[in-house]
Amino acid sequence: MKFKILLASVLVIAGCQTTKETTQVDTNQTKTVVEQPTNTPVVTVVPVVPVIKKPQPITVKLTPQQQQDVWDRIAMQITTKIPNNKRVQYYRNWYLKNPRNLEIIAQRAQPFLYYITEQVEKRGMPLELALLPIVESSFDPHAYSSMAAAGLWQIIPDTGRRFGLKQNSWYDGRRDVVKSTTAALNLLEYLNKKFDGNWQQALAAYNTGEGRVFSAIRKNKAAGKPTDYWALDLPNETSSYVPKLYAVADIIMHPKKYGFHIEPISNKPVIAVVKPGVQMDLTIAAEFAGISTRELKDLNPAYRRGVTAPNGLNHLLLPINKVKRFRRELAQNRNASMITHHHRVKSGESLGLIAKRYHSSIKAIQKVNKLKTTNIRIGQSLTIPASPISLVNRQHRAAVHVEAQHYVVQSGDNLWDIARKHKTSVVKLKQLNSLSKNAVLHQGQRLKVSTTATSKKTAANHKTIHYKVRNGDSLSVIAQRYDVSVAEIKKWNNLANNKYIKQGQQLKLVIDRRKVQA
């Protein structure tokens, strides 16, 4: 008990000593020190200094449609996995080693790529399809192949008609950029459905025909082989077709990776369709729009005679910034859209004969002269709508007499041997003789092998010039500029079946000095 009392006393005394004041005397000063309880934690108060953070830049990710460059707009939306096989590598390396090719293509594509891209997007189709005109025509709207395919999308006549493209002596819808784009995308959608959504097989069919691709698929199935595009036995051109497209797409998607620069194309509309509602001479239309006739023809290569068609096909593609001026000028000139000629009816003439003479049409003459029937009388004065280009062509052809050279087919002959013997091509022989694709020759058959044009005024009216190929030129562009044919240019320059020409190349041209100025 005494031990417990003693222990309690000690604890009380210890507790009393935990807090005390002590006075310390110093010679200079006296200060009081308050000792904190030993069992109380010491709290240090740190003043809070507000931290001002620098505002971070807000990164706004632009959509494909908001890009400044159409190439970027396309590249951002290509989702197709592009294989890195030998065929793709080969064509990718070719484009990278020949950058001038894509440079020229980019210049040609300037007016059209935005429009085509929009049409592909609207249909939800793979965006690499907007690049297909690069493979098809190098974006040359005047392009024409040895297989009679024409335009940016290289559509053959039968396919064009099948998909609604009108073709006549005035107008070729396959060269109409707007109409042919619609037809080509319709065809591609049709083929994609035929091949159960397989775009590679659909593209192959676009190039060579669906029948040939289906045949190749059946052949591989029978042999127990894969039926994907890469495994099919197809013509060389078709086997290269998809790899070319994929090679271009890969470069467009990864320009920095390959150290490649392609000329940017503004991501905004640059052309518009205008419907003047009257047949128009392209020279007058160009003047109204304030652009050159050549620029207008490059935008509207579908019109074959230098005028729009008389049967309602008279829409025009114009630079969007020239549309207002064109409409204003057309209205101020009271829709005077044609250069006209005056003709007094002579004995024996009919409306059809007069129309043919001026390269016009009966309907056009009737409309201008307000004729309800085709009846005309001697001495009647008619206004004939005709292009000056067509008139000059008529005068030139009237002065030229064409003589045909013939060959009689012998036993064992074939078109290839006959063509080689007469220094021409099989295609030319078929054209001269209106032969079908699978025509069979018969012994004793008489064939035209060449034509020779002679004229009393040839020496006086024709001259030979040497033309230096410019940036963006093609054989069809030069032929149209100097009013000659592609076949003639090839013949004069021994180009045989060469399709492409190079900038700086010298070409010999025989031109009519009366109608063409270099």
pLDDT at 39: 57
Structure tokens at 74: 């396309």
Structure tokens at 25: 């005397």
Most confident of 225-229, 302-306, 388-392, 459-463: 225-229
User: What is the distance between the terminal CA atoms of the chain, rounded to a whole angstrom?
Assistant: 136
pLDDT at 25: 42
What pLDDT, in 10s, does the model give residues 106-128?
A: 999 999 999 999 999 999 999 99
Say what percent of the chain tops pLDDT 70: 78
Q: Between 466 and 207, whose confidence is greater? A: 207
Instruction: Please state which of the ranges 22-36, 152-166, 490-504 shows the lowest mean pLDDT.
Output: 22-36
Distance CA 53, CA 334 (A): 69
Taking CA atoms, 410 is separated from 186, 353, 427, 444, in Å, by 47, 41, 20, 6
- Point out the residues that are catalytic: 136
User: SS3 of 46, please?
Assistant: coil
What pLDDT, in 10s, does the model give residues 328-374?
A: 988 887 776 666 677 889 888 888 888 888 777 787 788 778 898 98
Mean pLDDT across the chain: 81
8 A C-beta contact, residue 489 and residue 496: no
| Torsion on CA atoms 292, 298, 301, 304, rounded to nearest 10 | 40
Distance CA 46, CA 504 (A): 81
Say what percent of the chain tops pLDDT 90: 46
pLDDT at 307: 87
pLDDT at 387: 46
Query: pLDDT band at residue 471, thresholds of 50, 70 and 90?
Result: low
Phi, psi torsion values for 167, nearest 5 degrees: -140, 120
8 A C-beta contact, residue 165 and residue 185: no
User: SS3 of 109, please?
Assistant: helix
Structure tokens at 98: 């020949």
Query: pLDDT band at residue 498, thresholds of 50, 70 and 90?
Result: low
pLDDT at 333: 76
Distance CA 201, CA 187 (A): 13
pLDDT at 517: 39
Which whole number is the average pLDDT over 279-297?
Answer: 90
Q: Specify the residue for token string 């392009």.
A: 143
User: SS3 of 455, please?
Assistant: strand
Beta strands 462-468; 340-344: pairing state? unpaired
Helix (H) or strand (E) holding 362: helix 362-369
Phi, psi torsion values for 483, nearest 5 degrees: 55, 50
What is the CB neighbour count within 10 angstroms for residue 335? 12
Query: pLDDT band at residue 20, thresholds of 50, 70 and 90?
Result: very low
pLDDT at 144: 86
Distance CA 130, CA 177 (A): 13
Which whole number is the average pLDDT over 49-67?
Answer: 78
Distance CA 472, CA 474 (A): 7
Residue 252 has pLDDT above 70, yes or no: yes
8 A C-beta contact, residue 300 and residue 317: yes
pTM value > 0.75: no
Distance CA 195, CA 497 (A): 33
Structure tokens at 86: 């030998």
Q: Specify the residue for token string 């005028």.
A: 307
Taking CA atoms, 455 is separated from 250, 263, 489, in Å, by 54, 48, 19
Q: Between 341 and 242, whose confidence is greater? A: 242
Domains of the chain in sequence order: 74-164+176-253 (1.10.530.10), 271-332 (no CATH), 340-385 (3.10.350.10), 397-455 (3.10.350.10), 459-512 (3.10.350.10)
Phi, psi torsion values for 26, nearest 5 degrees: -125, 155
Instruction: Please state which of the ranges 53-67, 308-322, 400-414, 423-437 shows the lowest mean pLDDT.
Output: 400-414
Q: Between 25 and 327, whose confidence is greater? A: 327
What pLDDT, in 10s, does the model give residues 142-152?
A: 988 878 899 99
Indicate the residue type of 380.
Answer: Q
Q: How many CA atoms lie within 13 A of 443 on its CB side?
A: 3
pLDDT at 45: 61
What pLDDT, in 10s, does the model give residues 180-202?
A: 999 999 999 999 999 999 999 99
Instruction: Please state which of the ranges 37-46, 210-219, 264-273, 326-335 shows the lowest mean pLDDT.
Output: 37-46
Most confident of 125-139, 336-350, 432-446: 125-139
Residue 458 has pLDDT above 70, yes or no: no
Which whole number is the average pLDDT over 380-395?
Answer: 58
Query: pLDDT band at residue 73, thresholds of 50, 70 and 90?
Result: very high
What's 30's DSSP letter? E
pLDDT at 475: 79
Which whole number is the average pLDDT over 507-516?
Answer: 66
Instruction: Please state which of the ranges 281-285, 369-373, 482-486 shows the lowest mean pLDDT.
Output: 482-486
Query: pLDDT band at residue 484, thresholds of 50, 70 and 90?
Result: confident
Distance CA 353, CA 109 (A): 42
pLDDT at 91: 96
Q: Which of 479, 477, 469, 476 is nearest to 501 (CA)?
A: 469
Distance of CA 139 to the CA centre of its chain: 4
Q: Between 299 and 5, whose confidence is greater? A: 299
Radius of gyration (C-alpha) of the chain in whole angstroms = 40
Instruction: Please state which of the ranges 251-255, 289-293, 365-369 shows the lowest mean pLDDT.
Output: 365-369
Which whole number is the average pLDDT over 425-430?
Answer: 78
What is the CB neighbour count within 10 angstroms for residue 332? 10
Q: Between 6 and 164, whose confidence is greater? A: 164
